[in-house]
Structure 1
Amino acid sequence: MIKIAFADDHQALIDGVKMLLENTPNFEFIGAAHNGVEMLKLLENNKIDVVITDLKMPDMDGFALTQKIKENFPEIKVIVFSMFDQPEAVKKASDAGADAYVLKTSSLDVLVLAIHKIVAGNTFYDKDISRDLKQATEFIPNSLLSSTEQKILGLIANGKTSEEIADVQNCAISTVYTHRKNMAAKLKLKGKNELLKYAVENKYNFS
């Protein structure tokens, strides 16, 4: 069962997405929040697999929420669900760590497809986002990794162990392991030494 939460400041949209998810096999709707602050509180008290978030919200927007989720709950997948189709918005969301970007102008079936794709370990971009933009966000490594992941990759490149990285980041070593696993998946790397090799070869980009 895929456990899902939704952050948006429009109650009517929340109600519609909730109904969709509750009627989709293997989906469980855990709860909703009207801004990023409320969503983070929800995540602290519930086991969530996927967060769907709007970008424009009061108190904490979707960009900041996505980055906070990837820093504190790296195992959670994030789908940005927005009206904004500008390249800058998509790039900024990707840089924050978003696993998928779906436009609100699309059918809700696209949202369901995005959930299945990212849970399977893939990234997903709405087909209505231009081909050039998808290439820019999907295939540039720096765009695939969140700021926290880029920092950790820089530490790996400098020879830091997972224990040392946990100390620098002030987090549990299990969180570092999860970040390493997620980075390897995003960069399509296999084998325990491939991430280190990639980090050293790209040290300038992440230092």
Structure 2
Amino acid sequence: MQTIRTILADDHELVAEGIKSLLEAVPHIEVLAETRNGKELLQYAKALSPDVALVDLNMPVMDGFEAIKILKSEQPSVKTIAITMFAEKPVADRVMELGAMGYVLKNSPVEELVEAIEKVNNGDTYCSVIKTSKRSSVINEQLTKREIQIIALIADGNTNREIAEKLNISHRTVDTHRTNIMRKLDIHNSAALVRTALKEGIITRD
């Protein structure tokens, strides 16, 4: 089988190293490089011309949404797969609209990620199964894409200042989003917010 050349973009070093280690055990998949943000991803993609790019959605400097859109426009030969903790169908739909050919949850087994890479490399699309419910659909309609990003970052243990830095917005803006999220979901603390988000499938744990 021909080797599939990939690059990986994820600002969490431990997560990136874990994914790289798993893929290095697969004989026909090669990880050419790791990057920590969307801007670096575009630079490496231009220099290395990989077959497939694995792209986290939440990254500083340039997030995965923008990077996927630009790659589709400027380097259409590079096929992209979003790797994310957003178990959220509207987010998956949006990413695919921007040009991604795959959408894989970070808690998926390595066999699923390998299958996604193989299918996408062959020109097919792949999307992890995302469980939804009537209640979660209503919740998703209430929340904006930015609010869902912030919920995921809160669940990942980030402070408001860290969230502001990752999303390149002000600390005050994060405070406002957080207040709006709590109001919309009728929740009054971060622990309850994370529990609700996990229960309703808005996010999933790595």
Count of matched residue pairs: 131
Q: Does 1:77 align with 2:79?
A: yes
Q: Which has the higher contact order (CA 8 A, sep 6+)?
A: 2
Distance 1:125 1:5, change over 3 A: same
Residue 129 and residue 32 in structure 1: after superposition, are their counterparts in 2 closer, same or farther (change >3 A)? Answer: farther
Instruction: For residue 130 of structure 1, report the CA deviation from its aligned partner.
Output: 5.2
Separation in 2, partners of 1:10, 1:29: 16
Who is 2:108 aligned against? 106
User: Residues 12-51 of structure 1: matches in 2 within 5 Å?
Assistant: 12-51=14-53
- The answer on whether the counterparts of 2:49 and 2:78 sit within 8 Å (CA) in structure 1 is no
2:83 aligns to what SS in structure 1? strand
How far apart in 1 are the matches of 2:47 and 2:126? 28
* Alignment partner, residue 99 of structure 2: 97
Amino acid at match of 2:23: L
Structure 2, unmatched stretches of 5+, are: 134-206
Deviation at 1:82, TM superposition (A): 0.4
CA distance, structure 2, for counterparts of residue 86 and residue 117 of structure 1: 22
In structure 2, the CA distance between the partners of 1:117 and 1:129, relative to structure 1 (3 Å rule), is: farther
Once residues 37 and 131 of structure 2 are traced to their aligned partners in structure 1, the CA distance between those partners, rounded to angstroms, is 25
**In 2, Cα distance between equivalents of 1:121 and 1:130:** 27
- Alpha-carbon deviation of 1:128? 3.5
What percentage of aligned pairs have identical amino acids? Answer: 35
Return the letter of the residue paired with 1:21. L
Question: What stretches of structure 1 of length at least 5 have no aligned partner?
Answer: 132-207
Q: TM-score, normalised by structure 2?
A: 0.61
The code of the aligned residue for 1:96 comes to L
Partner AA of 1:72 in structure 2: E
1:55 to 49, 57, 60: 57
| TM-score, normalised relative to structure 1 | 0.61
- Matching residue's letter, 1:47: S
Query: Over the residues paired in the alignment, what is the CA RMSD in angstroms?
Result: 1.5
Whole-angstrom CA distance in 2 between matches of 1:53 and 1:104: 11
TM-superposed deviation, 1:114: 0.2
Q: Structure 1 residues 24, 38: CA separation in 2 closer, same or farther (over 3 Å shift)?
A: same
After superposition, residues 1-207 of structure 1 pair within 5 angstroms as 1-129=3-131
- Cα-to-partner distance string for 1:154-178 (whole Å, 9 max, x where unaligned): xxxxxxxxxxxxxxxxxxxxxxxxx
Q: Give 1:54 shift.
A: 0.7
**What's the secondary structure of 2:107's corresponding residue?**
coil
Distance in 2, matches of 1:81 and 1:99, equals 11
- Report the 3-state secondary structure (helix = DSSP H, G, I; strand = E; otherwise coil) of the residue aligned with 1:37: helix
Q: Secondary structure at the match of 1:48?
A: coil
Q: Whole-Å Cα distance in 2 between the matches of residues 105 and 130 of structure 1?
A: 17
Q: Which amino acid aligns with 2:66?
A: A
Distance 1:47 1:98 in 2: 16
